[in-house]
Amino acid sequence: MLAVTGYGTSIVRELSRLIDEPISRIGGSGSQWFDSDFIIPDAERFVLAAGVLYGKRVADQSVYDIATGLAINLISPMRLCEEILAKNDRARICVIGSESGFSGSFDDVYAAAKAGLHGYVLSRKVLPTQQLVAVAPPIISDAGMTMRRPDYPAILSKRKTVTSQQVAIVVHQLLYGPPVSNRVERMC
């Protein structure tokens, strides 16, 4: 079984077309999943795809926006990885990062959170039977967080983009192919 956060994301939808097994949601027991104890299904493969992008400089974000952005994009994935790795000695985890974690973004908090997430994946020690990797795509042209941007048409014409299907294929290879050591797979 595959367990995911970001169940409704375009990446998870595309990934579901590539696999022949059930997909289960990772949930939280509190009012907001990023502020709760996690309910982790019994699975061996995990995709952590939940994310939020406010599209504003840090000076233009409220303290709540900053805290939420860091919680969803950095702290919750790290906490989930820790819980999964502690409970499952055969876990294979793929975290969805972002090229913004390497090259920056107009949304400073998002870029900083993804950079922190990449650093965590690269430095976290895992058992020889476990796998922790991340995918760092550039802008995903058909993702909801991209399509909701007011500058969506301009982004598509000026920036390198990939599709959710392309990201899902890389995630699938990392989770279902031969095991690899901790790494962040850049897609640009």
Average pLDDT over every residue of 62-91: 94
Per-residue pLDDT of 34-69, as tens digits, reads 556 778 888 999 999 988 888 889 999 999 999 999
139, 98 Cβ separation under 8 angstroms: no
d(CA 1, CA 42): 8
Q: Please state, in angstroms and as integers, the Cα–Cα distance from residue 132 to each residue in 19, 66, 93, 149, following that order.
A: 19, 26, 5, 31
Of the candidates 117, 43, 107, 111, the one whose C-alpha atom is nearest the C-alpha of residue 76 is: 117
* Residues 89, 26, 49, 1, CA torsion sign: positive
CB 11, CB 96: distance < 8 Å: yes
- Phi, psi at residue 57, to the nearest 5°? -60, 155
Q: What are phi and psi of 78, to 5 degrees?
A: -65, -45
The per-residue pLDDT for range 153-180, each reduced to its tens digit, is 677 767 788 888 999 999 999 999 999 9
CA atoms of 83 and 102, how far apart (whole Å): 26
Q: Look at the pTM and tell me if it is higher than 0.85.
A: yes
Task: Give CA 12 to chain center in angstroms.
Answer: 10
* Closest alpha carbon to 136 in 180, 100, 174: 100
The one-letter amino acid at 35: D
d(CA 49, CA 17): 16
Q: What is the rounded average pLDDT for all residues in the chain?
A: 88
What phi and psi values does residue 183 have, to the nearest 5 degrees? Answer: -165, 165
pLDDT in tens, 115-164: 999 999 999 999 999 999 999 998 887 777 776 766 766 777 677 888 88
